[in-house]
Amino acid sequence: MRKRRLRLRLGAALALVAALAGAASADPPDDERPPGGLVSRNAERLGLQGDSLAAVQAVINASGARHADLLAKLETARTAMRELLTQPVPDSKAVMAQADAIGAIETEIHKNRLQAIMEIRALLTPDQRKMLLALRDEEHARREKEGGECESHAEPPPVPTR
C-alpha cells in the first residue's frame, strides 16, 4: 500500500515536471514580446509624430521596463519551481504554492500588456485606432501565411503522456 502511494506521488510529480517542461518550451507570447511592438513598428503608418509620438513612446518605455522586471521575477519563480521538483519527494503544498506564484506573475505580465494597449489607444485618434486594428489583423494574417500561426492563437503543445 505504501509503495503504491509512493508510485502514485512519483507519477504525479513526473507528470507535473513534463507539463511544466512543455509549457517552458512553448513560452507564452508575452514572454518574448514586450508591449508596444506593433505600434513602434508602424508609428509612421499610424501618423504618429511630435507630441503624440512622444506620449505613445513614453507608455511603451514604461510598460517595457515593467515587462523586463516581471520577466526577471518569472524566471526566479520558475527556477524555484525546478528546485522544488528536483527533490526526491517534492512537497506537494510547496509545489502548488509555487505554481500559484508563477501564475500570478504571468497574469501581471498579461495585465501590463493590456494596460499599455489601453493607454496607447487612449492617446490615438479614432482613425488611428481603426488603423491600428487593421495593422494587427494584417500581422496576424501574415504570420498565418508564413506557416506559423500568430502566437496568441497558436495551438498549445501536446502534453506528454509518459
Q: How far apart (Å, rounded) are the C-alpha atoms in residues 37 and 26?
A: 20
Q: Which pLDDT belongs to residue 24?
A: 44
In the structure, what pLDDT confidence band is assigned to residue 5 with cuts at 50, 70 and 90? Answer: low
Taking residues 80-107, report their average pLDDT.
Answer: 97
Averaged confidence pLDDT in the chain: 81
pLDDT digits (tens, 9 = 90+) for 68-92: 999 999 999 999 999 999 999 999 9
For the question of whether the overall pTM of this predicted structure is more than 0.75, the answer is no
Q: How far apart (Å, rounded) are the C-alpha atoms in residues 93 and 104?
A: 17
Cβ partners under 8 Å of residue 35, min gap 6: 60, 63, 64, 67, 112, 113, 116, 117
What percent of the chain clears pLDDT 70, i.e. is strictly above it? Answer: 71
Q: Which pLDDT belongs to residue 29?
A: 52
pLDDT digits (tens, 9 = 90+) for 13-43: 444 444 444 444 344 454 667 778 889 899 9
Query: Is there a contact between 35 and 63 (Cβ–Cβ < 8 Å)?
Result: yes
Cβ partners under 8 Å of residue 129, min gap 6: 121
Q: Which pLDDT belongs to residue 51?
A: 94
